[in-house]
Amino acid sequence: MSRNSENSRNAAEQPSWVASWKQSTGIRLALCVLFVVLFYFNLSPHLVPQTYNIALNEESSRDIVASKSVEDQIATAKAQEQAAASVEPISSTLPLKPESILNRVFNRVELLNQDEGVSTSDKIDIYRSEIPSYYEEYIDEFVRSNTGQPDLSDALLEETSRVAKSQSYAVPAEVFYKLPALTTAQVAEMRQVAVNVVRKLSAEPIREAEAARAKVAELVNASSLTQRSTREIVQELARMSLMPNKFLDSAATEDAQRLARENTTPVIIKEGGVIVKKGEVVTQEKYDMLAGAGMLGGHRTYWTELGMLLTSLLFLLVIMVYLYQTGRIGGVKPRYNNMHLFMLWLILFLNFVLMQATTLAQSNLMPYVGYLAPVAVGTMLITLLLDKHLAIVCSFIFVIMGSIIFNHDVNLIFDFRYGFVICVVSFSAIFTVHRASQRSAILKAGIMASLFGTVTVLAVLLLGDLPDRTEMLYSLGFAFGSGLMTAVLVIGLMPFFELSFGILSALKLVELSSPNHPLLRKLLTETPGTYHHSVMVGNLSEAAAEVIGADGLLCRVGSFYHDIGKTKRPSYFIENQSNMENPHDSMDPKLSKSIIVAHARDGVDMLKQHNIPKPLRDIAEQHHGTTSLKFFYIKAVKQAEAEGIEPEFTEEDFRYPGPKAQSKEAAIVGIADCVEAAVRSLRNPTMENVESMIQKIIKSRLDDGQFNECDLTLKELDRIGQTLKEAVIGIFHSRIEYPEEVKPKEKLA
């Protein structure tokens, strides 16, 4: 069979439309749209309220439910007014000094009574006209001198003037007739008593002057004044000078009322609460509240939708830039194609479904239910099935989305308490599971996520207002349960993704490497020589792969299956020809060639029948590439020469059908396969001829173009050769003869 016909057969194994859609630019653009839609519709329920088409003053045909917590502005305004009304009026006590009025009166009396040029009648007239005005003049002077002071408002001073003047006291007329008869000594004694009485009464806050004036007579009668007339004069003058000193401070009262309104807790209709009941008339207040909350169809704003769209596009941009920068999609030979991109979308979809399902049990009374969400399911699946670094990138998207989805504060967009917990849990899961080789590692990763999640939630709770014990225990319990739930879900979902998308995870590889697998058991029982050869190739290829950063586990397991096709005709391969003649000695070289090269095709067919993943089938198909079977070609040429005929064939007819190695792993297995067979054929291997043989094999394949379709570099080939030499020496140490140490010639005596 020619190489072209074989490649055509390989291409026909997979429908053309399947191969094309995996690399189709149109499909990739459609998947990008799906990513945007996924992000947008997961953000929408938490950022955009549901709208209703209702009319003012008409009955509602359904219950209108708050899609998120919304403020009842009408109820809040009523609560604010009630709080303001409950504020007691604030009064201020001013530093008024009514004794100043008494001093002015007694100074005037003392001076005027000493003036003999003024008649008694004139003195009486003067006292009657001047003394009553002292009270208002003092108040006017106090207001004028304190105007503009920062601690006394104009409104307070106006209130002081108004109230104080309204409570002025009219001195009886007979007092003015008694004043001219007072001597200087009497005036001095009366001054002292009057001032002391007024000071004592003014020391206490006085709202009503009449209450203080009622106490004057008792205090004066208890004083040192003995004459009845002087006591009566002092009483009246003291009553006249007394004034209120505590006044209503309207400005301070208004400030207190304003603070009371500001400090009033808004009345919130919680998410899920009914704003308008079915059959209830939509009043102007309800209508305004719905309009303010953006829940009316005609009042909907589209700025939020634009913001969500931009956010969704940014999320997509982060993923696509990472994939293109790391060569994951696009290019000639992408590692990840549209199928993997769709799998990533499906993982994100499942993770968001789990997050949204958790919010159904979350409420304002129990917001900590959000800690139960198994968000690490997505990061663990991406790590196991795709790439650890891609999982890290997606973790940041989960952090932002979780901060929005689990947020229950109407005044916030993000609640980074949940975002911080998601970040720690995701990273702990990624770094625990990224080298997993057994299913039990997933459980270990879930336990680590539980422990780190619990500690993180505890830290978050201690940083804020310490919750009560019940809330704290629930929060910690939900965080711990989240990790365990994550492990259970990942273990259950892994087989689905592995089978549906043909993904070969490390866990699957370990399972396929079990000797109990039907194919490996068949290889062991029917072709023990090939089985031993495959195990040796696995050891060599794994060591070589790991030294250049390739997938060593894939190389090992691929080596186990790379020669499975030999089980169809085991006796035609030299490693299985113990105690028997080689059938190729008596066969036509062309027939021998057909039997030998068929083992690659037969192996692929057997692997397909047992649903072995494609990466392992590729190694079985590509490990020989298009190398030449020179032994049979030379034998055929010699036969033609012996028969005296011109050969009708060329060396190209004695090559494997290929294809050439498409990956580093397939190329490494091919080199290791050839090296192991070559070293085993050596009768007396030494370090020198082993190293020479390995270099010759690698150079021969390099010159033959066998590495042209994989991305192995010359530096990597050199490191592979060095590693294979060390591994061969370790494996075949009992067979390799080390060169004898050359002793220096003894000097002649």
Q: What is the pLDDT of residues 465-475, one digit of tens each?
A: 777 788 888 88
Q: What is the mean pLDDT of the chain?
A: 82
* CA 95 – CA 389 distance, rounded (Å): 75
**For the segment 283-333, what is each residue's pLDDT rounded down to a tens digit?**
777 777 776 666 666 545 577 788 889 999 999 999 998 888 776 444 434
CB 450 within 8 A of CB 483: yes
Q: What CATH number does the domain containing 617 carry? A: 1.10.3210
Residue 677 lies in a domain: yes
Q: Out of 475, 503, 531, pick the residue that ends a domain.
A: 503
Helical H segments across 150-225, by residue range: 154-166, 173-178, 184-202, 209-213, 216-221
Would you mind telling me the total number of residues written for the chain in this entry? 749
Share above pLDDT 70 across residues of the chain, in percent, rounded to a whole number:
87
**For the segment 207-223, what is each residue's pLDDT rounded down to a tens digit?**
888 988 899 889 888 88
Residue 259 lies in a domain: no
Q: Out of 187, 217, 248, pick the residue that ends a domain.
A: 248
Looking at the structure, tell me whether residues 541 and 486 fall in a common domain: no
CB 380 within 8 A of CB 433: yes
Looking at the structure, tell me whether residues 529 and 634 fall in a common domain: yes
CB 617 within 8 A of CB 665: no
DSSP 588: -
Mean pLDDT of 536-547: 91
- For residue 586, the model assigns a pLDDT of 79
- For residue 719, the model assigns a pLDDT of 93
Looking at the structure, tell me whether residues 318 and 440 fall in a common domain: yes
Instruction: Please state, as a whole number, how many other Cβ atoms lie within 10 Å of the Cβ of residue 633.
Output: 21
**For the segment 342-387, what is each residue's pLDDT rounded down to a tens digit?**
999 999 999 999 998 888 877 666 777 888 889 899 999 998 888 8
In sequence order, the 6+-apart residues with CB closer than 8 A to the CB of 626 are: 3, 655, 656, 657, 658, 659, 660, 704, 706
Residue 287 lies in a domain: no
Say how far residue 609 (Cα) sits from the centre of its chain.
Answer: 44
Looking at the structure, tell me whether residues 488 and 527 fall in a common domain: no
Mean pLDDT of 519-525: 89
Position with higher pLDDT, 437 vs 605: 605
- For residue 729, what pLDDT band results from cuts at 50, 70 and 90? confident
- For residue 315, the model assigns a pLDDT of 93
- Tokens 């003869």 identify what position? 737
Residue 279 lies in a domain: no
Looking at the structure, tell me whether residues 498 and 574 fall in a common domain: no
Classified as helix, coil or strand, 627 is coil
Looking at the structure, tell me whether residues 379 and 479 fall in a common domain: yes
Torsion sign, CA atoms 418, 421, 427, 430: negative
Instruction: Please state, as a whole number, how many other Cβ atoms lie within 10 Å of the Cβ of residue 597.
Output: 23
CB 625 within 8 A of CB 658: yes
Say how far residue 27 (Cα) sits from the centre of its chain.
Answer: 29
Phi-psi region of 543 (alpha: psi -120 to 50; beta: other; left: phi over 0): alpha
* CA dist 250 → 90, 160, 204, 257 (Å): 7, 11, 21, 10
Residue 702 lies in a domain: yes
Beta-sheet pairing, 274-276 with 268-269: unpaired
Looking at the structure, tell me whether residues 700 and 584 fall in a common domain: yes
Please give the angle made by the CA atoms of 233, 234 and 238, to the nearest 5 degrees: 120
CB 501 within 8 A of CB 340: yes
Looking at the structure, tell me whether residues 536 and 581 fall in a common domain: yes
Looking at the structure, tell me whether residues 537 and 655 fall in a common domain: yes
> Is pLDDT at 7 greater than 60 in this prediction?
no
Instruction: Give first-to-last CA distance, the chain, whole Å.
Output: 73
Please give the angle made by the CA atoms of 7, 8 and 9, to the nearest 5 degrees: 90
Task: Choose the weakest-confidence range: 81-85, 311-315, 370-374, 406-410.
Answer: 406-410
Mean pLDDT of 518-542: 90
* CA 134 – CA 125 distance, rounded (Å): 15
- For residue 281, the model assigns a pLDDT of 74
> Is pLDDT at 272 greater than 90 in this prediction?
no
* CA 295 – CA 276 distance, rounded (Å): 12
- Maximum CA pair distance of the chain? 176
485, 585, 552, 477: which is closest to 727 by C-alpha? 552
Looking at the structure, tell me whether residues 661 and 546 fall in a common domain: yes
DSSP state string for 313-380:
HHHHHHHHHHHHHTTSSSSSS-SS-HHHHHHHHHHHHHHHHHHHHHHTT--SS-GGGGGG--THHHHH
**For the segment 482-508, what is each residue's pLDDT rounded down to a tens digit?**
889 999 999 888 888 888 887 777 778
pTM of the model: 0.60
Q: Which residues pair with 737 in a beta bridge?
A: 686
| Tokens standing for residue 741 | 């140490």
> Is pLDDT at 448 greater than 70 in this prediction?
yes
- For residue 293, the model assigns a pLDDT of 61
Q: Out of 248, 275, 293, pick the residue that ends a domain.
A: 248
Element (H, E) at 665: helix 664-681
Domain count, the chain: 3
Residue 270 lies in a domain: no
Residue 78 lies in a domain: no
Q: Which residues pair with 248 in a beta bridge?
A: 91
Neighbouring C-alpha atoms within 13 Å toward the C-beta of 256? 12
Looking at the structure, tell me whether residues 310 and 193 fall in a common domain: no
Produce one character per residue of 455-480: b if its CB has 16 or more CB atoms within 10 Å, e if not. ebbeebbeeeeeeeeeebebbbebbb
Q: Which domain holds residue 233?
A: 91-248
Residue 288 lies in a domain: no
**For the segment 576-611, what is each residue's pLDDT rounded down to a tens digit?**
777 778 788 778 888 888 888 888 899 899 999 988
CB 647 within 8 A of CB 640: yes
**For the segment 661-692, what is each residue's pLDDT rounded down to a tens digit?**
988 999 999 999 999 888 887 777 778 888 88
Position with higher pLDDT, 732 vs 302: 302
- For residue 1, the model assigns a pLDDT of 34
CB 474 within 8 A of CB 368: yes
Looking at the structure, tell me whether residues 33 and 123 fall in a common domain: no
